[in-house]
Amino acid sequence: MENGRGQWMSSFGFVLAAAGSAVGLGNLWKFPYITGANGGGAFVVTYLLILLFLGVTVMIAEIALGRHTQLNAYGAYKKVKEKWAWVGGMAILTAFLIMSYYSVVGGWVIKYLVDMTTGALSSNDPAALGAAFGGFIGAGASPLIYMLVFMVICFVIVIGGISGGIEKANKILMPLLFLFIIIVAIRSMTLPGAAEGIKWLFAPDFSKFTGAGFLAAMGQVFFSLSLGMGAMITYGSYVDKEADLAKSGWTIPLLDTFVAIMAGLAIIPAVFAFGFEPSQGAGLVFITLPAVFSQMPAGQLFGIIFFLLVLFAAITSAISLVEACVAWLIDEKKMARVKATSLTILGIIIFAIPASMSMGAWSGIHLWMGLGFFDAMDFLTSNIMLPLGGLLLCIFVGWVWGTEKADEEITNGGKLQWSYAPVWNFLIKYVAPLAIAVIFVVGLMPK
Ligand code: PHE
């Protein structure tokens, strides 16, 4: 256990941990599908442009604010401008609420890893697999137990502290994740008939690329980079004062994009090779893919590797959400790390129970707009709290803290050359807030 707040052992450790936060379920089940559905290559190019101009800009801003204040998200805003503290508070609340359903999905991944290992998943009929999936997530006790297992793993890592727990876990899990996704991608692309899938993914089809695709790309950039909910502020607060923040701000999105594209190549060609249709979200990972693996030569082995890598991605994202809450309790409430982590995990479990139950016995209970607890939390965080948090962050860094002071933090007080500064200043003050405001408003309009 470390003294005080703790710090990353190295810049590399920080970059891996931040990439661990960014690389998650969003890369593995959302990116491949929305790419294919929104015109393939045309969507990828748009995604990359938005990532370059907005994603990197906001990433650098969050890390800089964290390192400048050396505090959790709430404390960071408060230290710069007392009146803005609530924005940081909202970011931490967002992280907490995301965990209420992320932990449930984490449990599903463990269950599928177990079933893949024991051979219980060897059906090639998506209808049967779909029924089995629906039966499991609505079963009550069993998904709750798997959720608890997932939370215990997060607990064990986060009580270990920054360098001893979170950094260490990422240093083991992330390289394995990179290796595994390359293995599965090669397997998938070398199957007979894989070309069809690669075409669906990347061939630019401008007739499918519409305004909606542009917005989908923007939303995906923010979610995938874990921006707008205090995780990168928190992780940035453990970076040492000599580190090159601008460089990290580029490397993390690069790694995240690499995994997203590899995920596309690992999943979609295999889906096409066995004559299935790519579906969205949970259906893709938990229903279509088990059918794919059951037909693939040595499919069980590749299935185990695949669910392991999904689990690693989920764990390294979840611990960043937990840490955003834990850091607040440590900094502001002066709690010891063990107590802060225990309380956070306990609170998340209490909220995860209705999230999980809303898939079964409590599916009739709707919070609003006909949404059960799980879907309501997903909607509230992804469509409202994340964009709002991102928008306020840009205004805060660009106008309240000010680009001059931010530049000083990013260049380590002028010690580092940063020729990108004028571009970054312009993007954070004008382009990013405007663009996010547009996604926010259009995203809320009824479809
Ligand atoms: N970035 C993660 C993903 O792509 C999701 C996430 C969002 C994690 C927000 C933490 C915070 O799946």
Q: What is the pLDDT of residues 124-153, one digit of tens each?
A: 888 888 899 999 999 989 999 999 999 999
Residue 332, H or E segment: helix 299-332
CA distances from 100 to 171, 321, 348 (A): 26, 10, 6
Per-residue confidence (pLDDT) for residue 410, from 0 to 100 = 96
Q: How many whole angstroms from 382 Cα to the centroid of ligand 1?
A: 10
Per-residue confidence (pLDDT) for residue 255, from 0 to 100 = 96
**351-374 residue pLDDT tens:** 999 999 999 888 888 887 789 999
**239-251 residue pLDDT tens:** 999 999 999 999 9
Tokens of 282: 């949970």
d(C-alpha 106, C-alpha 311), whole Å: 7
Closest ligand 1 atom to the C-alpha of 24? Answer: 12
Tokens of 438: 């547009």
Tokens of 76: 């960071």
Per-residue confidence (pLDDT) for residue 426, from 0 to 100 = 97
Question: Hey, is 34 helix, strand or coil?
Answer: helix
Query: Cβ distance 108 to 359 under 8 Å?
Result: no
pLDDT higher than threshold 80 for residue 308: yes
Closest ligand 1 atom to the C-alpha of 386? Answer: 9
Residue nearest to atom 10 of ligand 1 (CA): 226
Residue nearest to atom 11 of ligand 1 (CA): 226
Pocket test for ligand 1, best of 317, 319, 348, 384 (most atoms within 8 A of CB): 317
The residues facing 371 across adjacent strands are 368
Query: Cβ distance 209 to 45 under 8 Å?
Result: no
Closest ligand 1 atom to the C-alpha of 256? Answer: 4
Closest by Cα among 341, 313, 316 to 327 = 341
Tokens of 279: 């579906």
Q: Which residue has the higher pLDDT, 206 or 337?
A: 337
d(C-alpha 100, C-alpha 352), whole Å: 4
Which of 1-5, 31-35, 183-187, 424-428 is the least confident region? Answer: 1-5
Query: Cβ distance 181 to 15 under 8 Å?
Result: no
Closest by Cα among 327, 369, 312 to 169 = 312
Closest ligand 1 atom to the C-alpha of 95? Answer: 11
d(C-alpha 43, C-alpha 127), whole Å: 30
Per-residue confidence (pLDDT) for residue 211, from 0 to 100 = 78
Q: How many whole angstroms from 321 Cα to the centroid of ligand 1?
A: 9
Per-residue confidence (pLDDT) for residue 447, from 0 to 100 = 58
Residue 219 banded pLDDT, cuts 50, 70, 90: confident
pTM of the model: 0.93
d(C-alpha 4, C-alpha 71), whole Å: 12
Q: How many whole angstroms from 22 Cα to the centroid of ligand 1?
A: 5
Residue type at 26?
Answer: G
Average pLDDT value for residue range 301-320: 95
d(C-alpha 93, C-alpha 387), whole Å: 14
pLDDT higher than threshold 90 for residue 333: yes
Residue nearest to atom 2 of ligand 1 (CA): 24
pLDDT higher than threshold 80 for residue 444: no
Pocket of ligand 1 (CB under 6 A): 21-22, 24-27, 98, 223-224, 226, 229, 231, 317, 320-321
Closest by Cα among 220, 224, 260, 222 to 61 = 222
Query: Cβ distance 20 to 224 under 8 Å?
Result: no
Residue 119, H or E segment: none
Pocket test for ligand 1, best of 34, 105, 109, 226 (most atoms within 8 A of CB): 226
Per-residue confidence (pLDDT) for residue 71, from 0 to 100 = 97
Q: How many whole angstroms from 320 Cα to the centroid of ligand 1?
A: 9
Q: How many whole angstroms from 21 Cα to the centroid of ligand 1?
A: 6
Share of the chain above pLDDT 90, in %: 70
Closest by Cα among 86, 60, 83 to 73 = 86
Residue nearest to atom 6 of ligand 1 (CA): 226
Q: How many whole angstroms from 222 Cα to the centroid of ligand 1?
A: 9
**36-80 residue pLDDT tens:** 888 888 899 999 999 999 999 999 999 999 999 999 999 999 999
Residue type at 201?
Answer: L
Pocket test for ligand 1, best of 223, 225, 310, 393 (most atoms within 8 A of CB): 223
Angle at 397 between CA 393 and CA 403, to 5 degrees: 155
Query: Cβ distance 362 to 372 under 8 Å?
Result: yes
Tokens of 340: 């802060």
Residue nearest to atom 7 of ligand 1 (CA): 226
**Residue entry with tokens 């009739």:** 364
Query: Cβ distance 162 to 8 under 8 Å?
Result: yes
Average pLDDT value for residue range 406-433: 95
Residue 446 banded pLDDT, cuts 50, 70, 90: low
d(C-alpha 132, C-alpha 291), whole Å: 12
Q: How many whole angstroms from 331 Cα to the centroid of ligand 1?
A: 24
Per-residue confidence (pLDDT) for residue 382, from 0 to 100 = 83
Closest ligand 1 atom to the C-alpha of 231? Answer: 11
DSSP sequence for 226-259: T-SSSHHHHHHTTS-TTS-HHHHHHHHHHHHHHH
Residue 1 banded pLDDT, cuts 50, 70, 90: very low
CA distances from 34 to 212, 306, 336 (A): 11, 20, 42
Mean pLDDT (the chain, rounded):
92
Residue 227 banded pLDDT, cuts 50, 70, 90: very high
pLDDT higher than threshold 50 for residue 2: no
pLDDT higher than threshold 90 for residue 114: yes
